[in-house]
Amino acid sequence: MQNENTFYPGGDAEVPVVVWGSGNMGRASIRAVAAHAGLRLAAVVVSSEAKDGQDAGDLADLGRALGVAATRDADAAIATLGGRGAVAYMASGELRPEDAAADIERCLRAGAVVVSPSVYALYDHRSTPPEMREPLAKACADGGSALFVSGIDPGWGNDLLPALVSGLGAEVEQVRCQEIFDYSTYDAEDSVRFIVGMGQPMDYEPMMVAEGVPSMVWGGQVRLIARALGVEIEEIRETHERRPLDATVTTRLGEFVAGAQGALRFEVQGIVGGRPVIVIEHVTRITPDCAPDWPTPADGGDGAHRVVIEGRPRIEVSVEATDEGGNRAAGGNATAANRLVNAIPWLRAADPGLYDGLEVPLQPSVYLADGRA
């Protein structure tokens, strides 16, 4: 790709972007594109008939119209890019990774840069199964395009941030990345109940901690941190623990009965020298009263992402983000969407190919300096 490829016919210096999806990540991505001085919202792809034709500003709760009507016609949306531009692919891929990868490949072949959180296997593209990686790499080469898949956890919370923080230390004994969240605020009830297992009987096996799944989702992040630190992982181990609710609770997601799962804690450990040197840990609750002895956010809020560097000096960094009325789950989604959307101009100028969280530099905000509302 050439550096001048951010300029488009007709004197338009803004990169046209299609946002594919209008859920938690899609809403945040629409807002990010609308705020970015170097980007222009070209189209929004939705799956719901009820959302078809709605203005993107309404879908993203911006309080103003953007003049872009949502469509269920993905081909028409991609065509608005004219063989260039970018797609922020924000459709869920948790239960449909093959379909999501096929959608992404379609966009890459059309010449669009793609940023997405939707396919966990692509977070560390070096360890992506060849049957998934190779078609995408060829699509990048054929379309002259680039792909960056990331999020928050997995994502910047356990690749870019720990690598950065480790550089402030001298002797590093362990790198621990934590996501600590009260999932009663998370606007994805099916995921909370059936993937995480909240409210399910204690003999139910949540998909999130089924054997091999944590390593599939977060193992690539462990390898990215190891690559940043220059160490070799001997093996990846998984541990998990569940706690039942002592009493029935009612949240915005509905009722969760006493005796059902109320908290889940697991670790994905990168073993070096026989001990866990790189650890990605999740502590998830449906109410703060469950498992009170487990780690909690430093400020007592309902969610945080934390990096702890054990060594000399010991370093601890906690990130709490809020959005959509003070919601921390929405704040976390927004940071992930902004990391991806802000990377689009860099990716447009990069060579065709697949990129990961250590390869794509964090882009300083252009919003305040530009003054664009």
pLDDT of the residue at 7: 34
CA atoms within 13 A on the CB side of 218: 28
Tell me what the pLDDT averaged over the chain comes to: 92
Q: Is 216 helix (H, G, I), strand (E, B) or coil?
A: helix
pLDDT, tens digit (0-9, with 9 covering 90-100), for 12-23? 468 999 999 999
Percent of the chain whose predicted confidence (pLDDT) is above 70: 95
pTM confidence score: 0.89
Residues of the chain with CATH 3.40.50.720: 3-152+333-370
Report, as an integer, the average pLDDT of 39-51: 96
As a whole number of angstroms, the distance between CA 212 and CA 219 comes to 10
pLDDT of residue 373 exceeding 70, the answer is no
Identify the three-state secondary structure at position 19: strand
**DSSP for 217-279, written as a single string:** HHHHHHHHHHHHHT----EEEEEEEEEE-SS-EEETTEEE-TTSEEEEEEEEEEEETTEEEEE
Q: pLDDT, tens digit, for every residue of 120-175?
A: 999 999 999 999 999 999 999 999 999 999 999 999 999 999 999 999 999 999 99
Tell me which CATH code domain 3-152+333-370 carries: 3.40.50.720
Q: What is the pLDDT of residues 314-329, one digit of tens each?
A: 999 999 998 988 888 8
Identify each DSSP E strand in 22-170 by its residue range: 39-45, 86-89, 113-116, 146-149
Taking each helix axis from N to C terminus, what angle separates 328-342 and 24-35, rounded to the nearest 10 degrees? 50
Determine the average pLDDT of the residues in 52-64.
95
Task: Give the DSSP letter of residue 2.
Answer: -
